[in-house]
Amino acid sequence: MGEPIGIIGAGITGLATAMVLSPKHEVTIVARDMPGDLGFNWASPWAGAAFHPQDKATKIAQEMQMDSFHYYWALAHRDPKSGVQVLPLTEYFDDRSDDSQTWYKTLMPGYRVIPKSELPSGCTHGVKYTSLSMNPQILLPWLKEQLVAKGVKFVRAEVKSFDEARAITKARLIVNASGVGAKTLAGDDCVMPIRGQTMFVKTDFNELIMKDGSEYTYVIPRAGSGGVIIGGVKSDRLDTEVDEELKSDFLMRVNRLTNDTFKNVDLKSVEDIIGFRPGRKGGLRVEREGDVVHAYGASGAGYIYSFGVAERVRKLIDGPIKAKL
């Protein structure tokens, strides 16, 4: 067994990292919020959590997304109780006319371009492929259960420093997967919360719909919930008050993309969701700094990067030999 490792944060990045490191290391996760908690102070339980490849990505970022996709794809077929499901995805754009700059054509199964004549009004390009969605409120507790069975320890505590995390976890080496908390822990002024508002709608609609460009709109089915997440918006507001006008805007945008599938939705009956994504100016940070490995800043793409980030963390600790996910 390798050296003990402490992980700060029990969100999707921390859990994925523990899963990848636990075969070789004694891992302890210390976190204020744990799987099953539904407070507003962390992002993981509130994410839409669709696997929607991030288009503007460096080669390393593409590799992390690929690693993550392969893990979730295997998991969806191996254990449906995990809350991960395979779904068809339709992706629309209004800021491009072709897929000449799209890197994930060979990654996503069944990838094909939609004929221009079939695009909704206002869209200039579209593609279809098979993808995945994750229900965080099922997946996070499932991952914790798997990790406990592997001997990973969980300690509920809000740490103020890496030395405090070392004292609790009895580990010299710390993985900083603290999300927004990295602003203080790592002294990183680039870190900031990004407010998201979505709504949960009861429906049997079972297809992922995304639109990028001048707007960010999506419909994301949640396994085992009997409904979908509709959104979205990104804001620098820090309050948790629901913006009622946004709800009407969500519905208008989604109906434009789905041929009025949700035209009869009563906005008074939907479940409003407010969450704060762990954003960072400059993007995702995955790097080693002495005895601390930083893994934060994925913003709204935490689930998309999670197991790829975990694999990169493992390489920074153990070297380039790839662990079995």
Tell me the pLDDT tens digit for each residue of 86-119.
Answer: 999 999 999 999 999 999 999 999 999 999 999 9
**Start-to-end Cα distance in the chain:** 18
Contact 35, 148 (CB under 8 A): no
Q: Confirm whether residue 218 is marked as ligand binding.
A: yes
Over residues 145-173, mean pLDDT: 98
| SS3 (DSSP) at 279 | strand
Range of the domain at 228: 5-318
Does 52 fall in a domain? yes
Tell me how far apart the alpha carbons of residues 194 and 43 are, in angstroms, rounded to a whole number.
10
Rounded distance between C-alpha atoms, residue 267 and residue 304, angstroms: 29
225 within domain boundaries: yes
Q: What is the CA radius of gyration of the chain?
A: 19
**Mean pLDDT rounded to a whole number for the chain:** 94
pLDDT at residue 38, as a whole number: 87
Q: What is the pLDDT of residues 241-275, one digit of tens each?
A: 898 989 999 999 999 999 999 999 999 999 999 88
Instruction: Establish whether 277 is an annotated binding residue.
Output: yes
Residue 315 has pLDDT above 50, yes or no: yes
Element (H, E) at 218: strand 217-222
Please list, in sequence order, all residues whose beta carbon lies within 8 angstroms of the beta carbon of residue 300, skipping any fewer than 6 positions away. 47, 48, 194, 196, 234, 277
User: Is the CB of residue 196 less than 8 Å from the CB of residue 28?
Assistant: no
Angle, alpha carbons 237-302-19 (nearest 5°): 140
CA–CA gap between residue 309 and residue 13 (Å, rounded): 7
* pTM for this entry: 0.93
Residue 324 lies in a domain: no
pLDDT number for residue 319: 85
CATH code, 258: 3.30.9.10
Residue 211 within any structural domain of the chain: yes
Is the residue at 325 inside a domain? no
Query: Is there a domain that residue 323 lies in?
Result: no
Bond from prior residue into 232 cis (ω within 30 degrees of 0): yes
At 173, the pLDDT band (50, 70, 90 cuts) reads very high
Asked if the structure places residue 98 within a domain, the reply is yes
Residue type at position 191: V
Domain-located, residue 167: yes
Number of domains present in the structure of the chain: 1
Q: In the predicted model, is pLDDT for residue 219 greater than 70?
A: yes
Q: Based on DSSP, count helices (H) and strands (E) in the chain, helices before strands.
A: 7, 15
C-alpha distances out from residue 175 to 28, 159, 267, 282, 297, Å: 10, 13, 42, 20, 14
Q: By C-alpha distance, which of 4, 54, 48, 1 is closest to 171?
A: 4
Is the pLDDT confidence value at 323 over 50? no
Where does the pLDDT of residue 321 fall: very low under 50, low under 70, confident under 90, or very high at 90 and above? Answer: very low
Q: What is the H or E stretch that residue 165 is in?
A: helix 162-169
Instruction: Please enumerate in sequence order all residues whose Cβ is within 8 A of that of 131, keeping only pairs 6 or more positions apart, or say none.
Output: 50, 51, 52, 86, 87, 88, 89, 108, 208
